[in-house]
Amino acid sequence: MTSEILHTTLKENFGFEKFRPNQETIINTILSGQDTLAIMPTGGGKSICFQLPALILPGITIVISPLIALMKDQVDSLKTNGISACFINSSQSSQEQKYYIDNLKTNHFKLVYIAPESLSYLDMAFNELNISLIAIDEAHCISSWGHDFRPAYTNLGYLKSRFPSTPILALTATADKATRTDISKQLNLQNPKTFIASFDRANLSLEVRPALDRVKQIIDFIENKPNESGIIYCLSRKTTEELAEKLKKNGIEAKAYHAGLDNETRAKTQDQFINDDCQVVCATIAFGMGIDKSNVRWVIHYNLPKNIEGYYQEIGRAGRDGLPAETVLFESYADVIQLQKFASEGLNSDIQLAKLDRMKQYADAVSCRRKILLSYFGELVKENCGNCDICKNPPTFFDGTILAQKALSAIVRLKESEPLAVIVDFLRGSRNAYIYEKNYQELKTYGIGADVSWYDWNQYLIQLINLGYCEIAFHQHNKILLTPFAKKVLFEGEKVKLTTVVKKVIDKNEAKEA
Which range of residues in 45-53, 141-149, 161-169, 444-452 is near ligand ADP by CB under 6 A? 45-53
Pick from 25, 34, 47, 92: which binds ligand ADP (CB under 6 A)?
47
Best CA proximity match to 293, nearest among 263, 262, 325, 261: 325
Spatial distance between the Cα atoms of 86 and 213, rounded to a whole number of angstroms: 51
Pick from 42, 143, 284, 466: which binds ligand ADP (CB under 6 A)?
42
Per-residue contact string for residues 227-256; x = within reach of ligand ADP by CB under 6 A: ------------------------------
Pick from 63, 133, 351, 385: which binds Zn ion (CB under 5 A)?
385
**Considering the complex, what minimum distance in angstroms separates the CB of residue 170 from ligand ADP?**
13
The answer to whether 174 and 373 are in contact (CB under 8 A) is no
Comparison of 28 and 384: residue with beta carbon closer to Zn ion: 384
Q: Which of residues 183-202 bind Zn ion (CB under 5 A)?
A: none
CA angle 31, 36, 42 (to 5 degrees): 110
**Considering the complex, what minimum distance in angstroms separates the CB of residue 194 from Zn ion?**
27
Which range of residues in 27-35, 137-145, 186-194, 389-397 is near Zn ion by CB under 5 A? 389-397
Pick from 7, 13, 16, 253: which binds ligand ADP (CB under 6 A)?
16
**Helix or strand run (H / E) with residue 233:** strand 230-233
Comparison of 253 and 379: residue with beta carbon closer to ligand ADP: 379
Which range of residues in 41-49, 230-238, 323-331, 334-342 is near ligand ADP by CB under 6 A? 41-49
**Considering the complex, what minimum distance in angstroms separates the CB of residue 173 from ligand ADP?**
6
The answer to whether 218 and 247 are in contact (CB under 8 A) is yes
Spatial distance between the Cα atoms of 161 and 451, rounded to a whole number of angstroms: 57
Q: 256 CB contacts (<8 Å, ≥6 apart)?
A: 237, 240, 241, 243, 244, 269, 281, 282, 283
Per-residue contact string for residues 352-371; x = within reach of Zn ion by CB under 5 A: ----------------x-x-
The answer to whether 58 and 130 are in contact (CB under 8 A) is yes
**Considering the complex, what minimum distance in angstroms separates the CB of residue 377 from Zn ion?**
15
Best CA proximity match to 48, nearest among 24, 75, 71, 67: 24
Spatial distance between the Cα atoms of 299 and 328, rounded to a whole number of angstroms: 7
Tally of CA atoms within 13 A in the half-sphere of 70 that contains its CB:
14
With binding defined as CB under 5 A, does residue 299 bind Zn ion?
no
With binding defined as CB under 6 A, does residue 20 bind ligand ADP?
yes
Size of the site for ligand ADP (CB under 6 A): 12
3-state secondary structure 362-379: HHCCCCCHHHHHHHHCCC
DSSP 388: B
With binding defined as CB under 6 A, does residue 201 bind ligand ADP?
no
**Considering the complex, what minimum distance in angstroms separates the CB of residue 115 from ligand ADP?**
17
**Considering the complex, what minimum distance in angstroms separates the CB of residue 362 from ligand ADP?**
24
**Considering the complex, what minimum distance in angstroms separates the CB of residue 294 from ligand ADP?**
9
**Considering the complex, what minimum distance in angstroms separates the CB of residue 16 from ligand ADP?**
4
Spatial distance between the Cα atoms of 269 and 271, rounded to a whole number of angstroms: 5
Q: In what order do the strands lie in the sheet with 254-257?
A: 204-210, 325-331, 298-301, 230-233, 280-283, 254-257
Could you tell which of Zn ion, ligand ADP, none binds residue 385, using a CB distance below 5 to 8 A set by kind? Zn ion
Pick from 141, 328, 356, 391: which binds Zn ion (CB under 5 A)?
391
Spatial distance between the Cα atoms of 71 and 68, rounded to a whole number of angstroms: 5
Site for Zn ion, rule CB under 5 A: 368, 370, 384-385, 388, 391
Interface residues with ligand ADP (CB under 6 A)? Answer: 16, 19-20, 23, 40, 42-48
